[in-house]
Structure 1
Amino acid sequence: MQCILSALKSESQPFIKFYNLEKDRRFSFPVFRNEDLYLLGIGMGKKYIEKRVNVFFQKMEKLPIQFINIGLAGGKKSIHTIGDIFIINKIRDENSNKFYFPDILYKHSYKESGITTVCKEITNGGAEFSDLVDMEASEIFKVCSKLSSAHNLIFIKIVSDYMDKSLENFGKNHLSTLMKSNIEGIATFIKNSNLSNNETHKILNDFDEEWLAKIIRILRLTKTQSLLIEKYFKGKMIRDPSYSYSTIPVNKPKSKFERNQIFKKICELLTA
């Protein structure tokens, strides 16, 4: 099951039409569906996200759900172009300064970027921000990561403005047109990412798990290295289920330096 999370009606409407979604009358807030694809309107900012997502999750009887946040973001005029689309790989909450890291296991052709989630709309040009800016991503990750694994939390952002004026000054057509112009590519990405939307689907089988454990043991990887190589391994097996990892040579390292070199080489093979 997949659930698109969007803040604005102008963000939602193109997807409602594209997927022929119909309003789900069980909810008092905007929810639309077509079979196993849902769209949940979360409103602008953090205010309603936790309550609405949790009510939705309970109604779905706690079934495995892949949450996909599709929305607009402010960009930097010197770096971005209006209409650019990004997959988010790092989220910073401006208020708490906490960082969140979605697991991007799926092969895609989009650029990746970090994003900062703010509490108030930025209209001064956003000189203090180095990446994209939005008002929902960190709260979505914080709430949804309690209900689903990190590789089932996807953030897709389209640059809508340069943070130099309020979104209210943009016509509704401007925002919806940005969505419509990217909708075919986003739909393909959503379809491809659906490979592991069900938590009962094991990405790694028992033999895969044994190989991974062996690598971690022989190389004496740190906890951080172990988590990273597991992430890359899962991503490789999703992209190429027939990948023959048994051909990767692994010898017991004689030093930390040698271990790190072997680790780096394996990561390069798994992400190729």
Structure 2
Amino acid sequence: MLYIVSALKPEAQAFVDHYKLKKSKLNNFTIFSNYNIRLIISGMGVENARLATQTLINNFDITDDDTYLNTGICGASRSYTIGELIECGGVNYNGIDHIFQENRPIISCVSEEVATPSYELADMESYGFYDAVIHNPAIKQFHIIKVVSDHFEPQKVGKEETKSLLFNVIDDINKIINF
């Protein structure tokens, strides 16, 4: 089973449309699923991502074949192109690097939208996801994969652009996670 955690509905909508996922509720969350995918919309922020990820962990049996994926958009420095797919190898949160895959970029998880180029990569949910999966030894496979949406100009990214950015890289994400 592939478990996907996305913060925003436009991020999730690309997967919903591509895989024809059906909508339901799980606790206070909206979840979309089919026979081999469960996608939950966490809402923005570390705590929301942690709670949504933990909700998936608590409500479904984990097998060795399961993959947990945190995906969505991120801001990035100009060394990255808009639409570029980034497989993260770690998360920096509160000044501490949490490395889980060597030789991959580290994303900074911040508490609010960033409008200045202070980071290489930044989002608002990756640490919450990471914190939930890393504390469950039954989870063998997890990924944080982001799509560059802007160069720290979040006001320029609309719902349709967000959906399109993710829709354009679904096949590439599948290759990375062997899905």
Range of TM-score over shorter length: 0.7 to 0.9
Which residues of structure 1 form unaligned runs of 5+? 105-110, 195-272
Counterpart check, 1:166 vs 2:167: no
Equivalent pair of 2:86/2:146 in contact (CA under 8 Å):
yes
Separation in 2 of the partners of 1:148 and 1:14?
30
Counterpart check, 1:177 vs 2:164: yes
TM-score normalised by structure 1 residue count: 0.60
Equivalent pair of 1:72/1:160 in contact (CA under 8 Å):
yes
SS state of the match for residue 47, structure 1?
Answer: helix
Q: How many residues align?
A: 177
Shift of 1:150: 7.2
Superposition pairs of residues 1-272 of structure 1, within 5 angstroms:
1-60=1-60, 62-64=61-63, 65-77=66-78, 79-93=79-93, 95=94, 97-103=95-101, 112-124=104-116, 126=117, 128-129=118-119, 131-148=120-137, 152-163=141-152, 165-167=153-155, 169-190=156-177, 192=178, 194=179
Shift of 1:58: 1.9
Q: Considering only aligned residues, what root-mean-square deviation do their CA atoms show, in Å?
A: 2.1
Shift of 1:148: 4.4
Separation in 2 of the partners of 1:57 and 1:150?
9
Separation in 1 of the partners of 2:146 and 2:105?
9
Question: What do residues 66-114 of structure 1 show as CA deviations (whole Å, max 9, x unaligned)?
Answer: 210111111112x111111111012111x2x22212247xxxxxx9422
Shift of 1:63: 2.0
Aligned residue identity for 1:16: V
Question: What do residues 106-139 of structure 1 show as CA deviations (whole Å, max 9, x unaligned)?
Answer: xxxxx94221111111112x2x32x211111112
Aligned residue identity for 1:122: V
Q: 1:154 to 1:135 in 2, by over 3 A?
A: same
Separation in 2 of the partners of 1:26 and 1:84?
32
Aligned residue identity for 1:98: I
State percent identity of aligned pairs: 25
Larger Cα Rg: Structure 1 or Structure 2? Answer: 1
Separation in 2 of the partners of 1:156 and 1:149?
21
TM-score normalised by structure 2 residue count: 0.88
Aligned residue identity for 1:137: S
SS state of the match for residue 90, structure 2?
Answer: strand
Which residues of structure 2 form unaligned runs of 5+? none
SS state of the match for residue 63, structure 1?
Answer: coil
SS state of the match for residue 46, structure 2?
Answer: coil
**Where is the helix percentage greater, Structure 1 or Structure 2?**
1
Of structures 1 and 2, the one with the larger relative CO (CA 8 A, separation 6+) is 2
Equivalent pair of 1:103/1:151 in contact (CA under 8 Å):
no
**Where is the strand percentage greater, Structure 1 or Structure 2?**
2
